[in-house]
Structure 1
Amino acid sequence: MNTRRYVLPLMLSLALVGCSEQGNQKAGANQAAGGGQQRPPSKVSVVTMKQAEQPVTRVLPGRAVAFQTAEIRPRVNGMIEQIKFKEGSTVKAGDVLYKIDDDTYAASLEEAKAALAKAEASVPSAQANLNRYERLVNSGATQIEYENARVTLLQAQADVAQAKAALQSAQINLGYTEIKAPFDGVTTISTVSIGNIVTANQTTALTTLRRIDPIYVDLTDSSANLLELRSAIAAGRLKGSPTEADITLTLEDGTKYDKTGKLDMAEMAVSETTGTYQIRAVFDNPNNLILPGTYLRATVIVGYENGFLIPQRAANRNANGSLTAKFVTAENKVETRTFDNTQLSGTNWLVTSNIKDGDKLIVDGFQWIAEGAVVAPVDAKLDENGFVVEQAAAQPPAASPAKP
C-alpha cells in the first residue's frame, strides 16, 4: 500500500510537466511564425540604368613643371653693385635683376669710340691719294705706286670696320653689366650679395627665374594602356580625339583644381626601365596655386563610348577580379551580375554588356542583403562621387492575387 501511494502522485506530476513543455513549444513556434510574417523587406537605394555616350577616362600621376626656366648667370666679370629685385617676387621681361660695376666697361666704350674716329679720319686722305695716282698712272706715276695707294685705302676702310666691331663689342659688354629677366616669371633666392665678385658664365647661378603661368604637368602612363587605347580606337569603340580632350587635376589635398588643361605633347618613346611613357599637359595658373614639383593626379579623357555607368561605391570585385554589382529584379529580389569588360569613367565604371535600359542598380544597402532576398527598392539620386543625396518613397511590393 505504501508503494502505490507514492507511485501514483509521481506519475501525475510527470504528465503535468510534459503537457506544460509541449504547450510552451507550440507557443514559441507560433510567436516565431508571427514575427516572420511581420518583418518587412529591407529598403535599398536604387538608380535606373540608362545607356548613353560616356567619357572613358584615365587617372594618371604627375608632377608640375615650370613653363619656362632660366638660371641667371653673368656674362661679364665684375662686382655686384645693385640687386634690383625682391627674392621670390614676380618680374617682367626686361626688368633689371642685377647691376655690375660698369666703370671699366664704360671706359672701354669710350676708347672704342676714339679708335673708330681715328680710323675714320684716315680714310679721306687714303681716298684722295688713290685718286691722285689714278690720274697720274699714265703720265709718270708707276703702276706700283697706284697699287700701293689702293691697298692703303683698303687698309683704312678695314680699320674703320674693325673699330666699329670693337665699339659694338664694348657697347654689348657695357649692356651686360645690367642682368635682365629674359621673360616674365618668379625669382628664387639670390646666391650673391652686393659687393660679391662674379665671373662670366660661372657655374653657380645668381638666381633662377621660372615662369609658372601657364604651367606644365608631366603625366606618366603605362605602355599597356597605350596599346589598349589604340586597339579601342582602331576597333571603333572609342569616339573623339584624346589630343583635344580636357584634362582635370586633383591637388594633393584632394580638392579639384578649377582650371582645365590641354594635352601639349606625348613622348614618342617608352622607358626601358619602367615601361611607361610621358604625357605633358598645360594649365593656366593665374594665382600660382600650382608650384613646380607639386604632385598631382590628372583625369584624362581618352575617348567616348556608349554604355552604362556603375558608381565605384556600388561595385565590388570577385575572386577572379571581375567587377560585380547587385540589381533588383522585377520581383524585387536581389540579383548579382558580373561584368568582364569595364572602363573607368570618372568615379564610375563604364560597362557595355549584361545590362540594359531600365535595370535597377542597388547603390546603397547592398552590403547587408543576400542573393535572392526580397527588398523594397527606393529611387535615389547620387552626387558626383556616388553618394546618395536624395531618396524617393519606397516602392510598394507587388500585390499578391486574392484567394477565391
Structure 2
Amino acid sequence: MLRPILTAGLAALLTLPLTAQELPKKKALLKTMTRANDYFMRKWPDTGKEIVTNKTRPSHIWTRAVYYEGLLALYSVDKQPRYYDYAVDWGQKHQWGLNRGVETRNADNQCAGQTYLALYQIDPQPERLRDIKASIDRMVQSPQVDDWWWIDALQMAMPVYARLGAMTQDTAYYGKMYRLYNYAKTRHGGNGLYNPQDGLWWRDKDFVPPYKEPNGEDCYWSRGNGWVVAAMVRTLEIMPPGAPHREEYEQMYLRMMQALPPLQRQDGYWNVSLHDPTNYGGKELTGTALFVYGMAWGLNHGLLDAQKYRPIIAKAWNAMAKECVHKDGFLGYVQGTGKEPKDGQPVSYTSKPDFEDYGLGCFLLAGTELYKLQDAAPVKATTTAKN
C-alpha cells in the first residue's frame, strides 16, 4: 500500500503549477536595481558627456531622458542624495534645455522635460520649468496635431503635457495632448496606429496592414507597445480624477493589459514581435520590463486582479533579474534602438546595444513599481479591470 500512496503523492506534486513564482523581497529588489544603476553611474560620471555611436549626440536625447525617468523612480523609494544630485547635474549641464531648442515639435526632444518637471516639483527653481513649458506652450498654441506619427512618442511627451496640466490647472494642456494622441490612434497610417481588435499598436505607418510578419500575423513590436503602456501609466499617475479624457487613457491601459498576458512566453519574456515568436524569438528586456512596469502599477492602483497578474510579473521579473543582470550590473538582452523586431539584433546576454541608458530606465521603472507593490497592502481590483 505504501508505494501506491507515494506514487499518488508524487503525481499530485507534479501536477502543481510549477511555473508559479514569488516576487523577491524588497531588499533583493533594491539590491538588483542598485547594482544595475551603479554600473551606469560609474560608466558615466560626467552627466553632460556627449554620446558617441554612429555619430555624436548630446546627452539629453530621449535615450538618456528615459534613464532619468527610471532613476527618479528609484529615488522615490531609495532617497540617496547621489541620485538626486546626478539628475540635477544632468539638467544643469544642459542648462535645463531641450535638444533642438524650444522650437522643437519632436516628442523625443521633449522627453527630458519629464525629469526637469519632476525636479521642479522637488525644488521649484524657475529655470527647470522654463524651456520645457515654452516648448509645450508653442505646441498648445499651434493647430497642428499630427506630430506623434510613431507610438514611442506617446511615452516621450504625454507625461509632460499631463504634468503641466496638473501643475497649472490649465486644461488646454490636456486638450492638446488628447488631440495629438487621438490623431495617432485613429488617423496616422490611414486608419490609426491602434488595432482595437488585438488591443495593440502598430509602431508607425510602415507596419499597418497589409504589412505582415513572417508567420502572417500583424507586426506589433514589443518595446513600441511597452512605450504606450508606460505612457498610459505615467499619464494616469499624474492626471487628477475627472481630468479631461482621463477615462480614455484608463480604458486604453486596461485593454492592453487584457491583450498582453496570453502573449507571455514560458520563460517569462515577451517576444520582440508580440504575435510572431519565429521572428527573432530570443529573450529581450526592454519590452518585458515596460509590461512589468505597467502591470505592477495597475496592481498598486487597484486596476488589475492580483491573482492573475502577480504570477505574470513575478515570472518576468525573476527571469530578467537572473538572466539579464551581470555581476557588474551591465544589462544583457537589451535590444538596440530601432522600430521593429529585426533592429539591433542579435540580442544576447553579452550583446551591447547602441545605447545602454534607456534599457536601464525601463528596468528601474519596473523594479521600483514592484518594490512599491511589496510595500503596499493588497488593493482590491475594480470591477471593470478583472480581466
Q: What TM-score, normalized to structure 1?
A: 0.18
Tell me: higher relative CO, structure 1 or 2? Use CA pairs within 8 A at least 6 residues apart.
Answer: 1
Instruction: Give the structure with the larger strand fraction.
Output: 1
